[in-house]
Amino acid sequence: MLLEITNLTKRFGGLTAVSNVEFAVAPGEIRGIIGPNGSGKSTFFNLISGVYKPDAGRVVFDGTDITGGEPHDIARRGIARTFQLLRIFGGMSVLENLLIGHHAHVRYSSAEAVLGTGRVWAEERRLKDEMMELLSFIGLADYAEVPAGEMSIGQRRLLALGRAMAMRPKLLMLDEPAAGLSPVNVDKLLNTVVALKERYGLTVIVIEHILKVVMETCQTVTVLDHGEKIAEGPPAAIKEDHRVIEAYLGKEMGDADVRAFLRSA
Ligand SMILES: Nc1ncnc2c1ncn2[C@@H]1O[C@H](COP(=O)(O)OP(=O)(O)O)[C@@H](O)[C@H]1O
Ligand SMILES: [Mg+2]
């Protein structure tokens, strides 16, 4: 297993946001995590990526115990993530946003800082080429010099994906990457995720609110409710699982959301 989590627990005061979760992802997998609002999905990511420290449990990544590690150290080990709320530098170009994603990662680890200036320059050139290839891959090469603030919401979501990829991760964790997108753009984004996975040999975990979105992309879906893992399995079985349906209905979701969930096929 690339990621192996046992008994993971996080409390905020009296609230247990993540409760005794067992979770394992194999290399090359695209895993979905779904659950109603407030079920602990983002907290789960924050525990893995080091933003929060767990109260109990263990996170083992690629054979190393990273429980309670610092975010930059965990990132350096090969875990990249996007955030539910977009964190794009609007005044900087699309390419600069990618380079920042890369530097945030290598600053702590690379030997570049101590190499001669010639080497630094060559390295920067090579890096820029690599980032341009990545931009081509996500369909944003023509926008490399455009300020990120001028991009549409769909393009920004792709850029967030590119920025996480700029860290050259082994594991890519996406928190509601399709939020606010039209159905066409959701498909485009998910297709890009699958293509990136194939091209770079990634493992992916994608959080989604609605099962329908991850139905075709993920072989296995994990369901959280009130911080607990209540189901795990192929999407077709998950959507028939009465505990899952109850969890969603119990959350007083909007009618449209419930219908979207139940209809997902
Ligand atoms: N930093 C925090 N302090 C206190 N409560 C938090 C914090 N982060 C999340 N929570 C609470 O933990 C629960 C799970 O939140 P979250 O992980 O964001 O859910 P989801 O991503 O599934 O919508 C919610 O009740 C939320 O209010
Ligand atoms: Mg969330």
pLDDT in tens, 67-111: 999 998 999 999 999 877 767 888 889 999 888 877 766 544 444
Residue 163 pLDDT > 60: yes
- pLDDT grade, residue 43 (50/70/90)? very high
Q: pLDDT value at position 126?
A: 85
The model carries a pTM of 0.88
239 pLDDT above the threshold of 90? no
The better pLDDT of the pair 73, 254 is held by 73
145-160 pLDDT, tens digit each: 999 999 998 999 999 9
- Give mean pLDDT, residues 30-44: 95
Q: Whose CA is nearest to atom 18 of ligand 1?
A: 42
Beta bridge partners of 34: 208, 223
Which of 43, 51, 176 for mutating ligand 1's site (highest number of atoms within 8 Å of CB)? 43
Q: Which of 221, 206, 227, 209 is nearest to 40 (CA)?
A: 227
CA–CA separation, 94 and 136 (whole Å)? 12
65: three-class secondary structure by DSSP: strand
Neighbours of ion ligand 2 (CB under 5 A): 41-42, 84
List of domains in the chain: 3-263 (3.40.50.300)
Residues 6+ apart with CB under 8 A from 178: 157, 185, 186, 189, 190, 208, 213
Residue 107, both tokens: 């600053």
Per-residue model confidence (pLDDT) at position 140: 95
The reported pLDDT for the residue numbered 259 is 60
* DSSP 8-state symbol, 264: -
Distance CA 26, CA 111 (A): 31
Helix ranges, the chain (H): 41-49, 71-76, 94-106, 117-137, 153-165, 183-200, 211-214, 235-238, 242-249, 255-263
The pLDDT, as a whole number, for residue 185 is: 87
Whether the pLDDT of residue 265 is over 50: the answer is no
- How many Å lie between the centroid of ligand 2 and the Cα of residue 179? 11
- Give residue 164's Cα distance to chain centre: 8
Ligand 1 contacts (CB < 6 A) are 12, 15, 17, 35, 37-43
Give the per-residue pLDDT at 110: 47
